[in-house]
Amino acid sequence: MSTATPNKPRLTTSAMIASIAAEGQRTQSAPFGNALVALARDRKDIVGMSADLAKYTDLHLFAQAYPERFFQMGMAEQLLMGAAGGMAKEGFTPFVTTYAVFASRRAYDFIHQVIAEENLNVKIACALPGLTTGYGPSHQATEDIAIFRGVPGLTIVDPCDALDTEQAVTAIAAHQGPVYMRLLRGKVPLVLDEYDYKFELGKAKLLRDGRDVLVISSGIMTMRALEVAEALKADNVGVAVLHTPTIKPLDEEAIIREAKRSGRLVVVAENHSVVGGLGEAVAGTLLRAGVAPAFRQIALPDAFLDAGALPTLHDRYGISTQAMAASIKSWLR
């Protein structure tokens, strides 16, 4: 006897690696790869490097356009980061791609010692951040921001959508110093073009205002926050959304300014463990400033997460639009 929900299609294995875009949502293909190809036409110093994952991080587009500037380092992430540091010392600007789990867990010491300590101009763009794959803890980088936030001088970027990713590529290339960017790949949702948005490194952007709730978010959770804000309009709940694509350095001025507005519940939403990410960064910022609003977090649990279809996992761990809306409504009661 089937236990499938009526009128709801059974999810297949492909849903473990499905696009995070909802059915019918506008998308843009490979914004990172296409933006890097366009930028590298005039920036001859840019090189692309990967550890056997160019096809799965959209860097294959760069490899096709500039084969003489592309370096396939094989399945050796430590070697990848060490070589990228050497390239930077020779005056190149390496864009390095792999999966976020491999950069943060396998290659941390090389990023810390070879790249960050010497403030080298290496841009590390890593796919499958947080819960954007259903293949279990081996591939789910739920603690990457926590791992990297403690590295001095390392800029951390968590884009929301295709527009954010595309514009961030240009911004981090112009920035002098190491950058870690969470990478959205393949068919990436496009939402921020409706909000007169422009990415600025180190700056948060108030995308919409609201009297009842302030959601401070990064990455795909900004897309979710905007969806929740629309959904809760029907309940006469006003939700403001402050998008913080740069996790480090954090735009503390904007966060304090918006959180000081009285009467609003402050919710930090992130596609990351509840430990050590944006939520704790915002909480520390507010405590140091003496600002103490009602405060909640929407984040992944401090646990090894299940494998499965992404829609199911997003519901289970509270980061789907429906789960997020339900949490906020319960906190307002």
Catalytic residues: 77
Q: How far is CA 285 from CA 10, 170, 278, in A?
A: 44, 28, 10
Residue 87 belongs to what H/E stretch?
helix 77-89
Q: What is the full DSSP assignment across 114-149?
A: IIITTT---EEEEESBSSS-SS-TTT-BTTHHHHHH
Centre a 10 Å sphere on the Cβ of residue 209 and count the other Cβ atoms it contains. Answer: 14
Q: Cβ distance 268 to 281 under 8 Å? A: no
Q: What is the full DSSP assignment across 242-293?
A: EE--EEES--HHHHHHHHTSTT-EEEEEEEEESSSSHHHHHHHHHHHTT---
> How far from each other are the two terminal CA atoms of the chain, in whole angstroms?
39
Rg (CA), the chain: 19
Q: Which residue in 148, 138, 141, 145 sits closest to 110, CA to CA? A: 148
Q: Which residue in 85, 83, 41 sits closest to 66, CA to CA? A: 41
Q: Cβ distance 217 to 269 under 8 Å? A: yes
